[in-house]
Chain A
């Protein structure tokens, strides 16, 4: 059983469109991180959220942590081909708990 469920698994859109991807769990996390991974490279951290209801913005990317700290979403406005990649969420259980990664959403933005 996967602790973190990410949806959709695959997403293919045109440049300029908006999109939202989700990361859901039945567990409560002390913090949650979003990473982006490009082909042939390791994941790169985009953001860490720690407070229930927290919203963070990174240019065209908006990250939200659920009020109950069980889920999170990533919204991209006006997607660009450079946004293409695998988006992974990782949740930490407790202050010293290890992080578990979801299976990821593979995003393709077509020019």
Chain B
């Protein structure tokens, strides 16, 4: 199994630009999670989907952030417009069942907004 796949692994952009992060969960997994990790705030849950439906987006910082899951094998996290304070490592994770079963994390996308 290839595990959770994220792209790109690194992204450097300028303030104001749109950023799209991509995730392919493990095949057959029903739940998908987006996290953000920084030194200051640790690992924060942004949003999670179950069967492609957003269940809890209370962690999404503001309207500049949006996430979609058009099908069971693909999700995107978009930031528009990006700001320097969005710089962080963004992780995608998936789990086999609804809720808080074992989560398998991807390698993350390191985002730097200049």
Q: Which residues of A contact B102 (CB under 8 A)?
A: 33, 45, 48
Interface residues of B in 28-70 (CB under 8 A from A): 42-45, 48, 56
Q: Are B43 and A92 in contact (CB under 8 A)?
A: no
Q: Does A107 contact B (CB under 8 A)?
A: no
| Residue of A with least CB distance to B92 | A42
| Residue of B with least CB distance to A88 | B43
Q: Does A98 contact B (CB under 8 A)?
A: yes
Q: Does A111 contact B (CB under 8 A)?
A: no
Q: Are A98 and B100 in contact (CB under 8 A)?
A: yes
Q: Which residues of A contact B105 (CB under 8 A)?
A: 41-44
Q: Does B93 contact A (CB under 8 A)?
A: yes
Q: How far is the CB of A27 from chain B (nearest CB, A)?
A: 14
CA distance A9 to B108 in the complex (A): 23
